Chain A
Amino acid sequence: MLYDPEACGQSAQIAAPGTKPFNKRISRQWYDDRFGTTRMDLNLSPPEIQFRDELRAWLEQNLPRNWKQEHAALGAMEEKFAYLRRWQKKLYEGGWVGVAWPKDYGGRGASLIEQVILIEEMARASAPPVANVLGVGLVGPTLIAYGDDAQKKRFLAKILSGEEIWCQGFSEPNAGSDLAALGSEARRDGDHFILDGHKVWNSYGWAADWCAMLVRTDPQAPKHKGLTYLLVDMHSPGVRVRPLRQMTGESEFSELFFQNVRVPAENVLGRVNDGWNVAISTLMHERNTLGANLHIVFKRQFDRIVELARANGKAADPLVRQKLARCRADIEVFRLTQMRAITRVNQSGVPGPEGSILKIFWSEFNQRFQQVASEILGPYAQLTGECEHSPDEGQWAYGFLRARGNTIEAGTSEVQRNIVAQFVLGLPKSY
């Protein structure tokens, strides 16, 4: 024990100023011997710097200079998506897709810090996203963790190259926050399952070749114990995709309908009726890596709104200055809290409930931020992209609406607070 109360007690006579001889024991040498010499260090390590520089050099060579205009000029969403697929192919050939995956499966075995470097560098360079976001970020890692050799061989390479696009079928109309209550059913029929069900809030459904699904295979078992993780071919007969129009007017999401869809039994990932554990690992990945680019996106929007506030004179308004300074502080604190969470996950190897803290923070921040932006823009804040007078092609009117979804998607703020209360603080489960 470093602190010895008895030893301390002996030296604890009252010290009148200047009278008691100083205890020469207290020196830097004494401290270093007692505690050690390590210090906090936020710098990147030499291999991390090398990784970053290599990536920067590759982007310098390969990133299309005016990709946003090229992409915007394409008409249909299919054409736009094909553009992103081509970009993913190029990244794949450069070895920059799925860097965290083990080398045997086409990755680089990159550390979490290196993944974060990649996400940040892509955001700094304003690079296009990959086409197969869910395949690379969620399904691939789950396949690596739970798949058999045949499944890995069949699916992984095509996920990385973008040849096969993946979506995820978890949520249902009656199973949102209470995901384990889902009712889509798969019944065994020889060497197949027959699938019937309805999924919602499905991203990329219209473009997907495959869907990673959570379905009920044992209706008699307790709700968490009768679920199976199933890989479903979206081109199978009986699969129907309907776009789900959201309040912004876009259709980022779809509804999926499955009617008598035949799925080969070899497409079960993990064990039958163990799907909940497989799905949890997917959700952990979701909170682990999503969001590392957000502070850069926020900072870019912040710099832009500062520019606009200077231009219209609001930057001199003391109330606006308070609100902008609060946003600036929030963005920085978000970045820093994320760095701490990454440090922890990097050391423990397991994504933890820190993800919930970050999710609550950024989603609620973005709603405040978009509100501040619209106050600065005044009447122009309501103009949408179709209006020639709208600032930044309607970005702020869109952002105001889109941010409303942030505290709902990927786990509502209420569910995240339940997670913090139960898993960070150890309070008893409330339901």
Chain B
Amino acid sequence: MRFDLSETQQLLKNTARKFLQAECPMAEVRRLMETETAHDPVLWSKIAAQGWTGIVFPEEYDGLGLGMVELAATMEEMGRALMPGPYLATVPMAGVLLDAAASAAQKRKYLAPICRGEARAAVFEGGLFAQDLGVADYLIQADRRNGALELVLWPASAVAAKPMPALDLTRRLYEVAITNPAAGELLARGSEAQAALDHMYDVATTALVAEMLGGMQRVLEITVEYAKTRKQFGKPIGQFQAVQHLCADMVLLVETTRSAAYYAAYALQEKLPEAREAVSIAKSYASEAYREVGNRGIQIHGGMGFTWENDLHLYYRRAKASEILFGDATEHRERIARLVLGG
């Protein structure tokens, strides 16, 4: 029994951190968030060269064939770096949906280019918007048609994407309009489509929680560093218990989310019967914890924390968007209640 990353997984995570420190520092994040799409093709090709675009997909489609824990460890580092762009939409969402629902021929055609870093994709289910559709080569739509759920793939040429300005500046939302209804390609239908969609949400939610964890960890570190150096009344403010206890609360929030995040990843990877509950526990935790860590971090920074130049609001914006994505804490607690209490 060892509930910790293995040496291999820790090495992967450390390497991801070094890569992102060099290739995606905060200056780069701020540069990209001012661009039209927050996506950088050069950064994307470097990510692909790390193997991340194919990390959980089969080797026969040019993937690495690794598991959920490896995906979570990598996404934790992306969240720490606040990496902008369409990774979440392309890999844990569209890629996982293709892997679960598409035929072998469709996977060769659509999944393999994702693994190789040549294509990006987005997912659209009901609602209003799709994340990072603006830089996607194709869109997978989950839609109830003719009395059954259908997963349909649309090429970018058949879709109009209208930007929707929103809080998170590092990942973009787009209003979706299908402009060529004849261009859709059916991936799966009925119960098969439903199973693929459910699986995708489990994987993507867990990946998102790991990413949120990385962001929380970074906000904690930035804040503790500030509390050690900022002086008032002739002392570092981190010497005051009122500040110390806020920091200790942040540690609790980060560490409990870490337990929930990696257990959800492990449970999915090992197909444990409690995997779905573990995913909802993790998301219900992370949704509140990331926001709360942000609240305390900004509070400790005082006026500096409320400025544009301080990085904390960029994390806080991501925290809010992530809280909403795939269901907030209330929604996931009701899912837990359905599993535990029925009804």
- Name A's B-contacting residues (CB within 8 A): 1-3, 5, 8, 11-20, 22-23, 26-28, 30-31, 35-45, 48, 113, 306, 309-310, 315-316, 318, 321-322, 324-326, 328-329, 332-333, 336-337, 339-340, 342-344, 346-347, 357, 360-361, 414, 416-418, 420-422, 424-430
Q: Are A325 and B337 in contact (CB under 8 A)?
A: yes
Q: Are A333 and B118 in contact (CB under 8 A)?
A: no
Question: A15's contact among B6, B44, B243, by CB below 8 Å, is which?
Answer: B44
Q: Which residues on B sit within 8 Å (CB–CB) of A8?
A: 19, 23, 46, 49-50
- Contact of B190 with A by CB under 8 A: no
Q: Are B54 and A417 in contact (CB under 8 A)?
A: no
Q: Are A22 and B62 in contact (CB under 8 A)?
A: yes
Question: A328's contact among B239, B243, B336, by CB below 8 Å, is which?
Answer: B336
* Distance between Cα atoms of A340 and B9 in the complex (Å): 16
- Contact of B28 with A by CB under 8 A: no
Q: Are B240 and A315 in contact (CB under 8 A)?
A: no
Q: Are A427 and B227 in contact (CB under 8 A)?
A: yes
Closest partner residue, chain B, to A331 (CB atom): B281
Q: Are A15 and B118 in contact (CB under 8 A)?
A: yes
Closest beta carbon of chain B to A145's beta carbon, Å: 26
Q: Are A22 and B244 in contact (CB under 8 A)?
A: no
Q: Are A322 and B334 in contact (CB under 8 A)?
A: yes
Q: Which residues on A sit within 8 Å (CB–CB) of B159?
A: none
CB pairs A–B below 8 angstroms (19 shown): A2-B11, A16-B41, A17-B119, A17-B137, A22-B116, A23-B48, A36-B6, A306-B341, A315-B341, A321-B343, A328-B340, A337-B259, A344-B4, A347-B4, A357-B252, A414-B241, A418-B241, A421-B245, A430-B240
Dominant secondary structure at the A interface: helix
Closest partner residue, chain B, to A335 (CB atom): B259
Q: Which residues on A sit within 8 Å (CB–CB) of B15?
A: 2-3, 35
Supposing A1-B18, A316-B343, A336-B260 touch, asked if A41 and B51 sit within 8 A by C-beta, the answer is no
- Contact of B7 with A by CB under 8 A: yes
Q: Are B247 and A421 in contact (CB under 8 A)?
A: yes
* Distance between Cα atoms of A427 and B1 in the complex (Å): 33
Q: Which residues on A sit within 8 Å (CB–CB) of B66?
A: 28, 31
* Distance between Cα atoms of A315 and B252 in the complex (Å): 29
Supposing A40-B9, A322-B337, A325-B333 touch, asked if A417 and B248 sit within 8 A by C-beta, the answer is yes
Leading 6 A-B pairs by shortest Cβ distance: A421-B244, A38-B6, A36-B8, A325-B333, A336-B259, A321-B337
* Distance between Cα atoms of A68 and B341 in the complex (Å): 29
Q: Which residues on B sit within 8 Å (CB–CB) of A19?
A: 118
Question: B8's contact among A35, A45, A316, A344, by CB below 8 Å, is which?
Answer: A35
Q: Are A5 and B23 in contact (CB under 8 A)?
A: yes
| Chain B positions 1-55 with a Cβ under 8 Å from a chain A Cβ | 1-9, 11-12, 15, 18-19, 22-23, 41-42, 44-46, 48-51, 54
Q: Are B23 and A42 in contact (CB under 8 A)?
A: no
- Contact of B67 with A by CB under 8 A: yes
Closest partner residue, chain A, to B224 (CB atom): A425
Q: Are A26 and B69 in contact (CB under 8 A)?
A: no
* Distance between Cα atoms of A3 and B51 in the complex (Å): 12
Residue-wise, chain B 269-296 has the 8 Å CB interface mask toward A (1 for contact) of: 0000000011001001100000000000
Q: Which residues on A sit within 8 Å (CB–CB) of B238?
A: 421, 425, 427-428
Q: Are A309 and B341 in contact (CB under 8 A)?
A: yes
Q: Which residues on B sit within 8 Å (CB–CB) of A44?
A: 1
What interface size band does chain B fall in?
Answer: 35 or more
Q: Which residues on A sit within 8 Å (CB–CB) of B247?
A: 420-421, 425, 427
Closest beta carbon of chain A to B17's beta carbon, Å: 9
Closest partner residue, chain B, to A44 (CB atom): B1
Dominant secondary structure at the B interface: helix
Q: Which residues on A sit within 8 Å (CB–CB) of B49?
A: 8, 11-12, 23, 26
* Distance between Cα atoms of A336 and B256 in the complex (Å): 8
Closest beta carbon of chain A to B339's beta carbon, Å: 9
Q: Are B259 and A343 in contact (CB under 8 A)?
A: no
* Distance between Cα atoms of A4 and B119 in the complex (Å): 24
Closest beta carbon of chain A to B57's beta carbon, Å: 11
Supposing A3-B22, A22-B116, A333-B259 touch, asked if A14 and B42 sit within 8 A by C-beta, the answer is yes
* Distance between Cα atoms of A3 and B46 in the complex (Å): 11
Closest beta carbon of chain B to A409's beta carbon, Å: 19
| Chain A CB within 10 A, most for which of B11, B51, B235 | B51
* Distance between Cα atoms of A41 and B269 in the complex (Å): 11
Q: Which residues on A sit within 8 Å (CB–CB) of B117?
A: 15, 22
Q: Are A28 and B59 in contact (CB under 8 A)?
A: yes
Q: Are A329 and B284 in contact (CB under 8 A)?
A: yes
Q: Are B255 and A322 in contact (CB under 8 A)?
A: no
Q: Are A336 and B240 in contact (CB under 8 A)?
A: no
Closest partner residue, chain B, to A360 (CB atom): B252
Closest beta carbon of chain B to A418's beta carbon, Å: 6
Q: Are B248 and A421 in contact (CB under 8 A)?
A: yes
Residue-wise, chain B 214-243 has the 8 Å CB interface mask toward A (1 for contact) of: 000000000010011000000110111101
Q: Are A424 and B251 in contact (CB under 8 A)?
A: yes
Closest beta carbon of chain A to B50's beta carbon, Å: 8
| Chain B positions 109-139 with a Cβ under 8 Å from a chain A Cβ | 113, 116-119, 137
Supposing A31-B51, A45-B1, A321-B333 touch, asked if A20 and B118 sit within 8 A by C-beta, the answer is yes
* Distance between Cα atoms of A8 and B47 in the complex (Å): 9
Q: Which residues on A sit within 8 Å (CB–CB) of B51?
A: 26, 30-31
Closest partner residue, chain B, to A13 (CB atom): B45
* Distance between Cα atoms of A37 and B66 in the complex (Å): 10
Q: Are B256 and A333 in contact (CB under 8 A)?
A: yes
